[in-house]
Structure 1
Amino acid sequence: MRADVDLDLRWLRSFVAVADHGGFQQAALELRLSQPTVSGHLKALERSVGRPLIDRRTRPVALTPAGKVFIRHARLVLGEVAAGVRRLRNQNGGPHRGTVVIGTYPSASAGYLPHLTRLARGLHPGVEIRLEEMSGGEMEAAAEAGRLDVFLRQAEPPLSRRRYGGELLWRERFLIAIPPGHPWAADVDRPIDPEELVHERLIMTGQFQAESLLGHPFWRDLGRYPEVPHRVRHPQSLLALVELGSDPGLTTELPVALFAGAGVVFRPIAHPAAVRDVYANWPLSRSLSGPAKSIVDLMLTHPTPPALSGRAVFDGPISPE
């Protein structure tokens, strides 16, 4: 391959989108292009680099060995270009003017970021905050591609601290949401024995394979995980299912403080690792812009969601890991 090969940024965007979505149709929808256009971009890119990057024989399509090597560089190029454009736009008025895009998940969107946005309007009126809800894996890809400046994510599975900076914002306990009439609802003052959980069906939030739960210190310590009958995106969905008499659900303190309905009983778990640590993260492949640094500093000054500031859901300290 020639070292001076010319590459079109549109080819790289199509390549990354196909890799992220596992298919050409989904990538075309995200990029607002036709499927043949996305396919043409991939073919042109592969001709330029001299290697196939996508294995089209699999469903969903997968990266070839060369594609796995190249996609990291493609993300970095796109991220640097996006960061450069944003930095130039943000220079009008100095470090406290510009746009900061924050990746987030539903309970943080509802319970923390409105509070942070209100504070930012008062302290940094020239900074506009934009939110993008997505899964943890999507946040990493979006941050590398320059679509996010900062993202909020639980600490498990852990991020590479060689690739991402991060600061702990808050810790919240796991809670078991119990439907009315369930045997666990009878003894609300006693934390649940972790061994009881592995024999029960538990509704959970998030997109994951059940065996990946063993990556969290809590489940890893138990060495087993429960059956997961429903995986939902939003904590409101989990609590609604529990309230209607479905299985118990695993949640945390913040969504309970925000969304809990009548009739559901909540009990903590008797294990020190049954917690969620929430971090603010950012890619180390580029420097934080002035506006982004201002928002991160504001997060560190005000790291706790208002609903958790007094631990109104459950009294008592959270056990350390």
Structure 2
Amino acid sequence: MTPDVNLAQLRALVAVADTGGFSAAADELGISQPAVSHAVAALERSLGAPVLWRGSPCRPTPLGEQVLPHARTAVASAAAVRAIATRHSGGPTGTVRLAAPTTVCQALLPGLLKAWRAAYPQVTVRVFEGEDDELAAWLEAGTVDAAVLVDAGPLPPGAVSLGADSMHALLRRDHPLAGQPTIHVAELEDDDFLLSEGGCERHIREAYRRAGTRFTPRHRIRDLNSLIGMVHAGVGVSVMPALALTMLPADCVLVPIRPAVHRTLSLTGPTGRPWSPAVGSLLAGMAPGVAAGAAAGVPSR
């Protein structure tokens, strides 16, 4: 008789799929690498076929791709049961995997993590940094438990608004336009434009569209720190969210652009499945004090 699939096997599959390797999965689960390998091998014996391609990184096989969503649901449900059982004896417990854009990780999350640690000492929050367009997919796939989404559509009950983050021109402090209170995007035409491909491109293009100004970026840069370094070196100028202020060297400045364009930030759990009790507690505890504080932290200049 084929052995039954158990939760440890499914938890190992999810960990290897998410981290890309057996060693990283072992660190994630707090067990040895042989234990992870044994659990995955036992799962494959139970199913009668491989669920992972061994490599760098490890990837799910076609069977693994079909099993993985059910494995995530089982692991999340088990965590929810444990959290419910322990909630009555001292508050929420467990681990919350939280995804957010780079600028949010830099500017807003440190304050939120500090507040959550004080209010919910038995909850561990693990941060995953991603691009704007990746976060919703991670959340709905179960790769993370909560996410800060940009310009999200209809959100489930319990989601928290973190405010609006306006687009600013990024310039060296010695740039002729650096001292102006605002800059029309047409005024940037004489400079080489460095475009961040991280997720704000549509906001930048919208500003130029509203202005009726041709948009011709000279360089396309994926990493935000690389882009800031290039502006700092005098290669060109850029436009980025106000939250990037915390990432800038002293001789770079952000100046609000015209036409004004902003992005909205929302912290939420998934729409397609129940939230874990720990996620619900973290977000419920933000209304209204912590959420208002986070929104107040979005700089306007």
- Same fold? TM cut 0.5: yes
- The yes-or-no answer on 1:74 pairing with 2:71 is yes
- Per the TM alignment, residue 48 of structure 1 is displaced from its structure 2 partner at its CA by 1.4
- The yes-or-no answer on 1:53 pairing with 2:63 is no
Could you list the per-position Cα deviations for residues 164-204 of structure 1 after superposition, in whole angstroms to 9, with x for gaps in the alignment? 963432111122321245576476632324995996224x5
Alignment partners' CA distance in 2, 1:159 and 1:26? 34
Alignment partners' CA distance in 2, 1:271 and 1:47? 61
- Per the TM alignment, residue 231 of structure 1 is displaced from its structure 2 partner at its CA by 0.8
Alignment partners' CA distance in 2, 1:13 and 1:24? 12
Match of 1:154 in 2: 149
- Per the TM alignment, residue 288 of structure 1 is displaced from its structure 2 partner at its CA by 5.1
Structure 1 residue runs of 5 or longer lacking an equivalent are 205-209, 315-321
Match of 2:250 in 1: 262
Alignment partners' CA distance in 2, 1:52 and 1:176? 51
- Per the TM alignment, residue 121 of structure 1 is displaced from its structure 2 partner at its CA by 8.8
Q: What TM-score do the two structures reach when normalised by structure 2?
A: 0.70
Alignment partners' CA distance in 2, 1:152 and 1:23? 24
Question: CA contact under 8 A between 1:101 and 1:147: conserved in structure 2?
Answer: no
Equivalences for residues 220-299 of structure 1 within 5 A: 227-229=219-221, 231-232=223-224, 239=228, 242-245=231-234, 247-256=236-245, 258-271=246-259, 274-284=261-271, 285-287=273-275, 289=277, 292-299=279-286
Identify the match of residue 17 of structure 1 among 15, 18, 31: 15
- Per the TM alignment, residue 46 of structure 1 is displaced from its structure 2 partner at its CA by 2.0
Question: CA contact under 8 A between 1:13 and 1:78: conserved in structure 2?
Answer: yes
Match of 1:301 in 2: 288
Structure 2 residue runs of 5 or longer lacking an equivalent are 210-214
> Secondary structure at the residue paired with 1:80?
helix
Match of 2:39 in 1: 41
Question: CA contact under 8 A between 2:228 and 2:248: conserved in structure 1?
Answer: yes
CA RMSD of aligned residues (A): 4.5
- The yes-or-no answer on 1:131 pairing with 2:131 is no
Match of 1:86 in 2: 83
Alignment partners' CA distance in 1, 2:104 and 2:68? 30
Question: CA contact under 8 A between 1:55 and 1:64: conserved in structure 2?
Answer: yes
> Secondary structure at the residue paired with 1:173?
strand
Number of aligned residues: 288
Identify the match of residue 171 of structure 1 among 164, 168, 172: 164
Alignment partners' CA distance in 1, 2:218 and 2:40? 42
- Per the TM alignment, residue 281 of structure 1 is displaced from its structure 2 partner at its CA by 0.9
> Per the alignment, do residues 40 and 199 of structure 1 end up closer, same or farther by CA in structure 2, a change over 3 Å counting?
farther
> Per the alignment, do residues 189 and 20 of structure 1 end up closer, same or farther by CA in structure 2, a change over 3 Å counting?
same
Match of 1:318 in 2: none
> Per the alignment, do residues 81 and 98 of structure 1 end up closer, same or farther by CA in structure 2, a change over 3 Å counting?
same
Question: CA contact under 8 A between 1:194 and 1:271: conserved in structure 2?
Answer: no
- Per the TM alignment, residue 143 of structure 1 is displaced from its structure 2 partner at its CA by 8.7
Letter in 2 for 1:17: A
Letter in 1 for 2:78: V
